[in-house]
Amino acid sequence: MDSKGVQLINEETKNIDRMVEETVRRYGRSRKALIPILQSIQAKLGYLPRYSLESVSSHLGIPLSNVYGVVTFYHQFILEPPGTYIIQMCMGTACYIRRNSENYRFLLSLLEIEPNSRTSKDGIFTVLRVRCLGCCSIAPVIKVGDEVYSRVNLDEMRRIVSFYRAKARTGSSKHA
């Protein structure tokens, strides 16, 4: 690695340290604050880079293995950078009965997502499966960013994907 690369990485870790410090100050240096702190960091960075876990561990005095244990237990935490848009596919019962698993399979093929990945190759979409978004009466539903789409079918999925694809290409807004 050239010296410039190392510097950049140092810069990044410093930024993360600063942010973690600030977050810890806000939530307090206690075990109870661990999850809100991780949530706040993920809200800022979009995911939890490994270094942020190390930093939280040392700031709170909680072993890294322990922090990692918490992070991997809950569905909300993401350890790899997600795509520009996060698509949440509801895999709750009401949505399943209304064929959302077919929509899901279709979406994976439409976005050409590899079997062991969740993000499309172009980096635009990350597809997550969630258990019920609480809109079961208008199933099947999917959520893109903060927007919920109801009664979706294959045509609708096609339309949604091309809408966000175009939006990502024109680079209008990162998080819809």
- Strand partners for 119: 126
CB-based contact 37:69 (threshold 8 Å): no
Distance CA 113, CA 103 (A): 14
Distance in Å, CB of 29 to ligand FES, minimum = 38
Q: Which does 31 bind (CB under 5 to 8 A by kind): ligand FES, another protein, none?
A: another protein
The span from the CA of 123 to the CA of 85, in Å, is 9
The residue with tokens 């806000």 is 26
Cβ nearer to ligand FES, comparing 6 with 97: 97
| Contact status: 162 vs another protein (CB under 8 A) | no
Which residue ranges make up the site for ligand FES (CB under 6 A)?
90, 92-95, 132-136, 139, 141
Taking the least distance from each CB to ligand FES, the nearer of 64 and 148 is 148
Pairing of strands 125-130, 85-90: parallel
Stated length of the chain: 176
Piece in contact with another protein (CB under 8 A), picked from 8-16, 69-77, 111-119, 162-170: 69-77
- Which residues, 4 to 63, sit near another protein by CB under 8 A? 30-36, 38-39
